[in-house]
Chain A
Amino acid sequence: MHSALLLLAVQTASAAEQPIGFSHTAHIEKASMQCTDCHEGATSRDSAGLPSIRKCMLCHQFIATDLPEVVRLSEYWERKHEVPWERIYGFAKTAAVQFRHAPHARAEIACSQCHGDVASMTVAVKAVTHTMGSCIQCHRDNSATDDCLACHY
């Protein structure tokens, strides 16, 4: 009972965190888009990044304009505001961790390895907990460096 309540609380909390109920599964499974279509930096830069509203509106000026979530998106667009997306992954400043997406993409580590099966999620939830243990285990499995300086500097 308690765990069911807790689960409900967690789910509603993470759904409520985002200003718009963006559905990952609708974009990836139905519209056949790739993660990197919106998170452009994932293969080439340090940070995968969150897309600008201009990117959303490239399609949503014309597509599915009557859906309630898209209407909310258009409201941000008309006010010339970016959507204030909440990041759900990242390291605390106190962790002193420097993470770079690009080398991991070059090593062909799938997005789902660290972010879970986002393709089947509506609003993305934090499905994988990043700890130093999980990072090091993966580095060792893939014969990558386990020098502390690789991440902590």
Chain B
Amino acid sequence: MAEQTAEQTEQGAERTPQWAMAIDLDRCTGCEACVVACASENNVPTAGEDQAAMGRTKHWIRIDRYYEGEFPDIKVKYRPVMCQQCDEAPCEPVCPVNATYQNAEGLNVQIYNRCIGTRYCANNCPYTVRFFNWFAPEWAEPLNLQLNPDVSIRPSGVVEKCTFCAHKIKRAKLDADAQGRELADGDVQPACVQSCPAEAMVFGDMTDPDSKVARQLGSGRSGQLLESLGTKPRVFYLEKAD
């Protein structure tokens, strides 16, 4: 690996970015703009009023709420949770058809047309961020008119989840390539990061020491969700040490 890196540097070849996200929990207001932006960007279908009342919604990103103290002296903390893009992902080894794997850029990839719908991955995910499509996706009008052509519609019978907006990563790379330049920090903005009014979320290459996300990770406030499980997530949560 090190040998390859040295060789690449010598040739001036492009580095393989290692994508990561930092979420500042002290900035998050729980407004759910990211939830809306994600559903809109990634063609995540709506469940309808009746199904939603039974909790049968599908969200690639959700806001977990934590309450501290006794009413009325209550403090609420919010935590946006999406696929943690684990380096040691529990979902990957249980897939019998290799439909989910970690690619060279550290993304936990889900290939829909390889998936046969065993749902082992969703059951093995400690963050419960994988969703099985029991039904073909539907959108209430006029949402059916705003589907994103850059993102495939997932059929029934497969598992889907947050991709770190892989299509936007791809688009940013192609744009940079067309302009004959290297990918710069901030070129890739997943929908949740882009829409966050509090700028609580930062996305980028964590191996680039000058990137915003690398600076956030080095701030001494960062931690991971269910860190003790050893899943090594690529999503880092920043909060004031108690």
Contacts and interface: CB of A to CB of B under 8 A. Distances in A.
A85 to B, nearest CB: 19
A147 B103 contact: yes
A131 interface: no
Interface in B128-167: 150-155, 163, 166-167
B104 A153 contact: no
B177 A95 contact: no
B61 interface: no
Interface in A77-123: 93-98, 100, 102-103, 106
B29 to A, nearest CB: 30
A70 to B, nearest CB: 34
A111 to B, nearest CB: 19
B112 interface: yes
B170 interface: yes
Contacts, number: 47
Contact of A95 (B113, B154, B166): B113
B148 to A, nearest CB: 11
B contact residues, range: 20 to 34
B15 interface: no
A contact residues, range: 10 to 19
A149 interface: yes
A102 B150 CA distance: 15
B174 A102 contact: yes
A148 interface: yes
Main secondary structure of the interface of B (DSSP, over half): loop
A153 B151 contact: yes
B174 A148 contact: no
Given A94-B113, A96-B113, A149 B177 contact: no
Contacts of B33: none
A149 B166 contact: yes
Given A94-B113, A148-B111, A153 B170 contact: yes
A152 interface: yes
A25 to B, nearest CB: 31
B221 interface: no
Interface in B78-136: 101, 103-104, 107, 109, 111-114
A96 B152 contact: yes
Contact of A100 (B113, B114, B152, B174): B174
Most buried by B among A94, A98, A100: A98
Interface of B: 101, 103-104, 107, 109, 111-114, 150-155, 163, 166-167, 170, 174, 177-178
9 contacts: A44-B178, A93-B153, A94-B155, A96-B112, A96-B113, A98-B170, A148-B114, A153-B151, A153-B166
Given A44-B178, A97-B152, A148-B114, 19 more contacts: A93-B153, A94-B113, A94-B155, A96-B112, A96-B113, A96-B152, A98-B150, A100-B174, A102-B174, A103-B174, A103-B177, A147-B104, A148-B109, A148-B111, A149-B107, A152-B111, A152-B152, A153-B151, A153-B166
What 3 A-B pairs are tightest by C-beta distance, nearest first?
A96-B152, A153-B166, A149-B109
